[in-house]
């Protein structure tokens, strides 16, 4: 599929858009931290949506994949701006927002910003507030001093565990976008898929998120042997079944 680019004042965002049946809500995918639109889950959704003629869009945040920018300059606020730009300029009608890990956090923010256009929100190992609760709060005083001094938190040293550093700028800017400090006034259905063997986002994070959503149409599905990626064939079929809850039967 052709990769296109959405021009912004700060650069350009790479995206892939599939048209579909206008009677079906679209599927809007938000990637996780340091991920891009070529990952297993968005690629799977692209194929399934094409087969079922469901509108679908995926894109790369600034500094990720084929979009312009430096990843180290990225912030939650900046990536939210990217998400809103793609949502507003490249989609029409109701959307099923699917957010993976950090994308689940961005999905919560986007859903609050555009509530009238959200058919449903699906979080896959959703990681709202991860910079504060799963990174900063877990650091020892010595590690915090290192981050304050160097401006970065190195997540992994070994080659097999080499992950992008989390910057102090990311952590500090994210505090303006924390969502688990107050009730979340969402009006759309919310579905959370969470692996119980997730080593990055503990399953208790999903229950905490559900408790903060100020409405009752919230379901959590726990996958007992599921990890953070939730990308096995069984996991992907579960994701598709969850999306199918919100599309017309003839398109599911």
Which positions are catalytic? Answer: 101, 198, 228
- As a whole number of angstroms, the distance between CA 18 and CA 36 comes to 17
Q: Let me know: does 18 contact 27? Beta carbons within 8 Å.
A: no
In angstroms and rounded to an integer, the radius of gyration of the C-alpha atoms of the chain is: 17
| 158 class by beta-carbon count within 10 Å (0-12 exposed, 13-18 middle, 19+ buried) | exposed
- Cα–Cα dist 229/223, whole Å: 12
d(CA 54, CA 158): 42
Q: For residue 62, which of 7, 13, 8 has the smallest C-alpha distance?
A: 13
In three-state secondary structure terms, 70 is: coil
| Helix (H/G/I), strand (E/B), else coil: 176 | helix
What is the rounded distance in angstroms from the CA atom of residue 60 to the CA atom of residue 186? 25
Phi, psi of 106 (to 5 degrees): -60, -35
Question: Distance between CA atoms of 148 and 167, rounded to whole angstroms?
Answer: 10
């Amino acid at each position: 599929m052709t990769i296109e680019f959405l021009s912004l004042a700060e650069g350009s965002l790479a995206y892939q858009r599939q048209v579909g049946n206008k009677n079906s809500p679209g599927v809007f995918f938000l990637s996780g931290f340091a991920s891009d639109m070529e990952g297993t889950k968005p690629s799977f959704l692209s194929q399934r949506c094409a087969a079922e003629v469901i509108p679908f869009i995926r894109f790369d945040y600034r500094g990720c994949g084929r979009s312009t920018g430096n990843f180290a300059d990225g912030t939650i606020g900046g990536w939210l701006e990217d998400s809103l730009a793609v949502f507003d300029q490249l989609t029409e009608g109701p959307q099923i927002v699917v957010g993976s890990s950090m994308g689940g956090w961005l999905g919560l923010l986007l859903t609050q910003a555009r509530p009238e256009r959200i058919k449903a929100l699906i979080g896959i190992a959703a990681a709202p507030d991860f910079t504060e609760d799963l990174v900063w709060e877990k650091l020892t005083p010595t590690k915090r001093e290192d981050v304050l001094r160097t401006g970065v938190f190195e997540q992994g040293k070994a080659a097999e565990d080499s992950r992008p550093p989390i910057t102090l700028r990311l952590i500090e800017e994210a505090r303006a976008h924390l969502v688990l400090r107050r009730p979340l006034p969402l009006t759309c259905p919310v579905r959370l898929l969470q692996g119980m063997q997730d080593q990055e986002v503990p399953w208790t994070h999903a229950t905490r998120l559900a408790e903060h959503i100020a409405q009752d149409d919230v379901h959590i599905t726990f996958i007992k042997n599921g990890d953070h990626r939730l990308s096995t064939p069984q996991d992907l079929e579960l994701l598709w079944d969850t999306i199918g809850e919100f599309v017309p039967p003839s398109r599911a």
